[in-house]
Amino acid sequence: MTKMPALSACHSDPATYPPGIAFMDGQYLPISEAKISVLDNGFLHSDATYDVVHVWKGAFFRLDDHLDRFFSGMEKLHMSIPFGRAEVIEILHNCVALSGLEDAYVEFICTRGTSPTFSRDPRDAVNRFIAFAIPFGSVANPEQMSRGLHAAITEFVRIPPSSVDPTVKNYHWLDLVKGLYAAYAQGAETAILLDANGNIAEGPGFNVFAVKDGKISTPKSGVLMGITRQTIFDLCAELQITCAAHDLAPSELRAADEVFVTSTAGGVMPVTKIDETSIGTGSVGPLTNEITEAYWRMHENDRFRQAIRYP
């Protein structure tokens, strides 16, 4: 088991780092001191998997689902860490407790790590586990949350599932970052990428949903199976709203009554403009509002929340 150190608050250089606490190489550290080797293949080759869970009002939301995805990703990448599930849970609780944060963005990572001979064979590397808790972050800022994001559908294709398995949460983000710069160049705030068939895929850190005639749809494949995406399916079942996963053409998204995107970083976030087209009435729609309220209400349900254990 990991030992809880006598760190009481988030000591950080506010000019460079947000406040927060990290765990790496067996130690809890202020986030400003959590540094990775330049020889780690997670850094050199994006050879890593990770997950992000949030803490809201002092409790993790759907931690079990995030852990399932993380452990399954490690297995698919032939990675292993010297901690079992219970120990990872303990480390995550400790990072949040030490940070003193009520609402937090909690990331945990397994990198391929390093090998003493700088071997090209990934089997020679010692995998590294890192976790950290920093203040809750969102894809959309408060202004964008209330008036809706302006997104651009870029011509860029999200890295195809035949190249990188999107069900393994990964750092293959150069396509997403390229999309962001293209979006900024046309005055938009975020980007939506296509799949290899020209259908909607996903954006930088979020899944995409369209509402048409009271029914909700989202891309079926080629995307991360987001935990928030799953939450939308769960909520729709409860609220008796039809929600289906299928191919979604860019024209369908532009013609939707409402569009929203979902992420652990922010929850349900409205989109009211795509390229030059206003979506629906151009303001946040009623179904998006209903789902957003239900999403935050679900955080109070004991089935999905796990209160932070303070020592």
262 lines the binding site for ligand PLP (CB under 6 A): yes
20 lines the binding site for ligand PLP (CB under 6 A): no
- Find, among 120, 270, 115, the residue nearest to 189 by Cα: 270
**Local structure of 97: helix, strand or coil:** helix
Binding residues among 35-94 for ligand PLP as defined by CB under 6 A: 52
Among 109, 227, 253, 271, binds ligand PLP (CB under 6 A): 227
Among 19, 42, 113, 205, binds ligand PLP (CB under 6 A): 205
Nearest-angstrom CA–CA distance, 21 and 108:
12
267 lines the binding site for ligand PLP (CB under 6 A): no
Burial of 56 from C-beta contacts in 10 A (0-12 / 13-18 / 19+): middle
Burial of 300 from C-beta contacts in 10 A (0-12 / 13-18 / 19+): exposed
Distances (CA, A) of 145 to 21, 153, 230, 238, 276: 28, 19, 21, 24, 19
Among 28-36, 97-105, 199-207, 245-253, the segment contacting ligand PLP (CB under 6 A)? 199-207
192 lines the binding site for ligand PLP (CB under 6 A): no
Residues 6+ apart with CB under 8 A from 301: none
Residues 6+ apart with CB under 8 A from 279: 148, 254, 256, 257, 258, 259, 271, 272, 273, 285
Among 104-112, 113-121, 205-213, 238-246, the segment contacting ligand PLP (CB under 6 A)? 205-213
Residue 73 CB, shortest distance to ligand PLP, in Å, is 12
268 lines the binding site for ligand PLP (CB under 6 A): no
Residue 180 CB, shortest distance to ligand PLP, in Å, is 12
Q: Which is nearer to ligand PLP, 138 or 283 (CB)?
A: 138
Q: Which is nearer to ligand PLP, 151 or 223 (CB)?
A: 223
Among 189, 195, 202, 258, binds ligand PLP (CB under 6 A): 202
Alpha carbon dihedral 149, 222, 166, 177, in 10-degree steps, equals: -40
Please check whether residue 82 is in contact with residue 110, taking contact to mean a CB–CB distance below 8 angstroms: no
Strands 267-274 and 277-278, by their bridges, are antiparallel
Q: Which is nearer to ligand PLP, 79 or 224 (CB)?
A: 224
Quick note: the x/- pattern for ligand PLP over 207-226, rule CB under 6 A, is x---------------xx-x
**Local structure of 258: helix, strand or coil:** strand
DSSP code of 203?
Answer: B
Q: Which is nearer to ligand PLP, 68 or 275 (CB)?
A: 68
168 lines the binding site for ligand PLP (CB under 6 A): no
Residue 293 CB, shortest distance to ligand PLP, in Å, is 18
Q: Which is nearer to ligand PLP, 230 or 283 (CB)?
A: 230
266 lines the binding site for ligand PLP (CB under 6 A): no
206 lines the binding site for ligand PLP (CB under 6 A): yes
Strands 207-212 and 258-263, by their bridges, are antiparallel
Which residues are at the interface with ligand PLP (CB under 6 A)? 52, 202, 205-207, 223-224, 226-229, 262-264
